[in-house]
């Protein structure tokens, strides 16, 4: 931390606080408590901010520019924040900064502030997860009486960020090591916090343009969706992912589509189309604001703020066609034509951009369609261990070919291309799509079978019992006979990796499987961990009971994609089950099993309070024979931290429990 300098004359804090605008009638303000973390959200006029307080840390995240302010302390004392109020204040050059003010109470008499970062959320994430510091954005605090202040311009000279703390009952002291200590004679510190950013405000989608009257009356989910929805893009989640993510946008649109109005759907689809690569690859994530400037400076020596897009993910490339085709088929043909004719700021028609993606998909799927061998499936990018939504380093168990990408999304994308070809909507932009339908048949017939796993009954039960011991839970009986399930991925030789998973929900939502495939897909929902995926706290996304020890060690309840519960994955499965049960061509026995799986899943979904479903994921504790909810990221063994507000966790506004 840089050494402090003593501030001379400054604008009085009271003047700064009084400079903010009054509350608007359409202002959004709400809070969420997740474990020990208090989350306060505010959007009012040009101000949009999320404050997280708890566990020795305060973060203020701004969706505009993915900017953020983080303050870390040595003490783990409880922090309580008061309501947020908006403000707009000038920086030293008279340029506007938009932010929030609040009061804090910290249950300690002495607080040592060991690190403060004013920069991009990406920079805060790096420090939070790995204590990585970026010297270029270090900011020296100044002290004026009882006020400690940090302020700087963005690296390229654009309006930057400001944080000030004013003690109401204590003193601030500069330490020789560059840290700041706050002290009070009272039982708890009380102070005012002001935080603001100079990034250009985004344009919220008005609530009247967001949801139809078919949406569930879930106030918290509506508020989270409202906070994350802007005409420029939909945010993936807050605090840590307050910007565009292609996969998150597309999956959220697919599940929310029945209750979203066109303005919201088209904002999301437009954001994806406008960020396509020249070859039609869907952008996974964007670096904007100061993180873009930082990367340009470090990599090219320039101060450019041009966004930088990450294209290494594979699954999002295959999601665009099915989801966009679903939307275009749901609206009048004239409206679909107008949407495809819409132009980006660079002058490209959306239809032209879509045609690039369709061509990209056809190219990626051609080898397997011509010769359906495992080696011709779509692999992860060379040199990477990630490529689908399980994008932690161990999320695919070291696999090279993802189940979701190859067994589901590739045939689904080809099916969508064939539908777009038959509709004629894409004709003004491309006509070379007629071969998609025969390609789809090869993928649908041949790819899923490569992921099938069969384990003899005795071996399967012994492995499940062993995994139960490793997890510290009771074992559970397996169904009679050999165990059948789909592998999470194939290794680089094409061998299935025996990790049971929840990604069969993609197959239920995007495909029309036969009865045998359906039975295998839903079997994990009918059995309790470690025999299946079900717990009292929800459906876990992976069960590695039958995998080697090295894989099992990375799939416990402290791993981001291990034996943990992701809210949107439960919704994906629920939506898929509902879609399959709407079919009229299924045998009675298969329908009965689908209904049993649906009941088990919704029982688990309802076991967690509804206001926790908007979080990214959670884990579990085990005692007295039961699994109970535990926030993820607030335990010593957890790999990372869960977001309190996640875009694809709002999908229960559309995915509703059946009348069972």
**419-442, pLDDT tens digit by residue?**
999 999 999 999 889 999 999 999
Contact 238, 253 (CB under 8 A): no
Three-state SS annotation for 272-293: HHHCCCCCCCCCCEEECHHHHH
Average pLDDT, integer, range 159-174: 97
User: What per-residue confidence (pLDDT) applies to 552?
Assistant: 98
pLDDT at 639 over 80: no
Q: What does the alpha-carbon distance between residue 143 and residue 8 come to, in Å, rounded to a whole number? A: 9
Point out which residues pair with 485 in neighbouring strands: 453
pLDDT at 380 over 80: yes
User: What per-residue confidence (pLDDT) applies to 11?
Assistant: 37
Q: Is residue 424 exposed (0-12), middle (13-18) or buried (19+ Cβ within 10 Å)? A: exposed
Range scoring the smallest mean pLDDT among 87-101, 121-135, 385-399 = 121-135
Do both 85 and 227 map to the same domain?
no
- Flag whether 274 is in a domain: yes
Q: What percent of the chain has pLDDT over 90?
A: 87
Torsion, Cα 399 400 401 403, to 10 degrees, reads 20
Angle (CA) 539-542-547 rounded to 5° is 145
Which of 163, 197, 231 is the endpoint of a domain? Answer: 197
Average pLDDT, integer, range 500-522: 96
Do both 458 and 354 map to the same domain?
no
Do both 349 and 415 map to the same domain?
yes
Which of 197, 230, 252 is the endpoint of a domain? Answer: 197
- Flag whether 352 is in a domain: yes
pLDDT at 445 over 50: yes
Average pLDDT, integer, range 597-612: 92
**608-622, pLDDT tens digit by residue?**
988 788 889 999 999
Give the chain's domain count.
3
**275-331, pLDDT tens digit by residue?**
999 999 999 999 999 999 999 999 999 999 999 999 999 999 999 999 999 999 999
- Flag whether 164 is in a domain: yes
Q: What does the alpha-carbon distance between residue 260 and residue 557 come to, in Å, rounded to a whole number? A: 34
Do both 481 and 556 map to the same domain?
yes
Do both 389 and 351 map to the same domain?
yes
DSSP per-residue string spanning 70-110: EEEES----EEE---EEEEEE-TTS-EEEEEEEEEEES-SE
User: What per-residue confidence (pLDDT) applies to 77?
Assistant: 87
Do both 465 and 440 map to the same domain?
no
More confident residue, 120 or 635: 120
pLDDT at 13 over 60: no
**14-39, pLDDT tens digit by residue?**
343 334 434 344 799 999 988 888 99
Sheet holding 496-497, edge to edge: 401-402, 489-490, 496-497
User: What per-residue confidence (pLDDT) applies to 614?
Assistant: 86
- Flag whether 512 is in a domain: no
Q: What range does the domain containing 193 cover?
A: 5-197
User: What per-residue confidence (pLDDT) applies to 637?
Assistant: 55
Do both 442 and 457 map to the same domain?
no
Per-residue pLDDT band for 4 (boundaries 50, 70, 90) equals very low
pLDDT at 166 over 70: yes
Do both 251 and 142 map to the same domain?
no
Do both 226 and 175 map to the same domain?
no
Point out which residues pair with 287 in neighbouring strands: 308
- Flag whether 241 is in a domain: yes
- Flag whether 118 is in a domain: yes
Do both 433 and 570 map to the same domain?
no
Average pLDDT, integer, range 61-87: 94
The radius of gyration of the chain from alpha carbons, rounded to an integer in Å, stands at 26
Contact 415, 514 (CB under 8 A): no
User: What per-residue confidence (pLDDT) applies to 612?
Assistant: 85
Q: What does the alpha-carbon distance between residue 340 and residue 350 come to, in Å, rounded to a whole number? A: 5
Do both 404 and 467 map to the same domain?
no
pLDDT at 7 over 60: no
Per-residue pLDDT band for 6 (boundaries 50, 70, 90) equals very low
User: What per-residue confidence (pLDDT) applies to 1?
Assistant: 38
- Flag whether 303 is in a domain: no
Per-residue pLDDT band for 529 (boundaries 50, 70, 90) equals very high
Contact 326, 419 (CB under 8 A): no
Which of 429, 446, 463 is the endpoint of a domain? Answer: 446
User: What per-residue confidence (pLDDT) applies to 635?
Assistant: 63
Per-residue pLDDT band for 264 (boundaries 50, 70, 90) equals very high
- Long-range CB pairs of 462-469 (<8 Å, 24+ gap) are 463/545, 463/546, 464/530, 464/531, 464/545, 464/546, 465/530, 466/545, 467/530, 467/543, 467/544, 467/545, 467/552, 468/530, 468/545
- Flag whether 120 is in a domain: yes
Q: What does the alpha-carbon distance between residue 142 and residue 119 come to, in Å, rounded to a whole number? A: 18
Mean per-residue pLDDT of the chain: 93
Do both 597 and 647 map to the same domain?
yes
């Amino acid at each position: 931390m840089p050494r402090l300098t003593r501030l001379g004359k400054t604008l009085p804090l009271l003047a700064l606080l009084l400079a903010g605008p009054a509350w608007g009638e359409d202002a959004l303000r709400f809070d969420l408590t997740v474990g020990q973390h208090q989350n306060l959200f505010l959007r009012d006029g040009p101000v949009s901010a999320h404050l997280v307080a708890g566990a020795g840390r305060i973060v203020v995240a701004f969706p505009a520019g993915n900017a953020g302010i983080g303050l870390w302390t040595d003490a783990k004392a409880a922090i309580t924040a008061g309501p947020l109020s908006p403000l707009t204040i000038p920086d030293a050059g008279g340029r506007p900064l938009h932010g929030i003010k609040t009061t804090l109470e910290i249950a300690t008499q002495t607080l040592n502030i060991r690190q403060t970062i004013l920069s991009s959320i990406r920079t805060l994430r790096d420090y939070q997860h790995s204590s990585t510091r970026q010297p270029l954005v270090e900011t020296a605090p100044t002290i004026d009486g009882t006020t400690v202040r940090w302020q700087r311009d963005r690296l390229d000279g654009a309006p930057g960020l400001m944080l000030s703390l004013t003690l109401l009952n204590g003193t601030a002291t500069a330490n020789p090591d560059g840290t700041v200590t706050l002290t009070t004679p009272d039982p708890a510190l009380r102070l005012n916090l002001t935080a603001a950013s100079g990034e250009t405000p985004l344009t919220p989608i008005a609530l009247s343009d967001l949801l139809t009257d078919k949406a569930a009356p879930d106030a918290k989910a509506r508020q989270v969706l409202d906070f994350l929805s802007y005409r420029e893009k939909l945010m993936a989640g807050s605090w840590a992912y307050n910007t565009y993510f292609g996969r998150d946008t597309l999956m959220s649109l697919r599940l929310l589509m029945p209750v979203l109005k066109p303005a919201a759907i088209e904002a999301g689809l437009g954001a994806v189309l406008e960020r396509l690569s020249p070859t039609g690859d869907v952008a996974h994530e964007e670096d904007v604001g100061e993180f873009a400037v930082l990367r340009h400076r470090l990599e090219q020596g320039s101060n450019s703020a041009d966004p930088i897009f990450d294209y290494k993910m594979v699954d999002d490339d295959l999601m665009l066609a099915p989801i966009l085709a679903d939307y275009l088929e749901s609206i009048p043909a004239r409206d679909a034509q107008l949407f495809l004719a819409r132009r980006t700021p660079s002058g490209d028609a959306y239809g032209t951009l879509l045609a690039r993606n369709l061509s990209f998909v056809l190219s990626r799927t051609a080898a397997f369609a011509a010769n359906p061998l495992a080696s011709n499936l779509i692999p992860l990018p060379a040199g990477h261990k990630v490529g689908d939504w399980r994008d932690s380093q161990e999320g695919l168990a070291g696999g090279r070919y993802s189940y979701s990408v190859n067994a589901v999304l590739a045939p689904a994308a080809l099916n969508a291309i064939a539908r777009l070809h038959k509709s004629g909507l894409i004709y003004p932009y491309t006509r070379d799509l007629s071969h998609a339908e025969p390609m789809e048949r090869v993928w649908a017939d041949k790819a899923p079978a490569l992921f099938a796993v069969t384990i003899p009954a005795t071996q399967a039960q012994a492995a499940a019992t062993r995994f139960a011991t490793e997890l510290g839970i009771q074992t559970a009986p397996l169904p009679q006979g050999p165990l059948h399930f789909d592998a999470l991925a194939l290794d680089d030789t094409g061998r299935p990796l025996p990790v049971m998973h929840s990604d069969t929900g993609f197959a239920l939502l995007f495909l029309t499987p036969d009865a045998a495939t359906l039975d295998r897909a839903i079997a994990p929902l009918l059995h309790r961990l470690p025999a299946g995926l079900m717990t009292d706290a929800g459906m876990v996304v992976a069960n590695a009971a039958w995998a080697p020890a090295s894989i099992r060690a990375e799939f416990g309840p402290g791993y981001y994609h291990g034996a943990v519960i992701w809210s949107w994955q439960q919704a994906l499965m629920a939506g898929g089950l509902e879609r399959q049960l709407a079919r009229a061509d299924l045998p009675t026995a298969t329908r009965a099993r689908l209904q049993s799986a649906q009941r088990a899943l919704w029982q688990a979904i309802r076991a967690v309070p509804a206001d926790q479903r908007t979080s990214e994921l959670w884990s579990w504790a085990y005692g007295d024979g039961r699994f109970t909810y535990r926030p993820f990221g607030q335990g010593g063994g957890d790999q990372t931290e869960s977001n309190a507000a996640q875009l694809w966790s709002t999908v229960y506004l559309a995915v509703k429990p059946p009348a069972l």
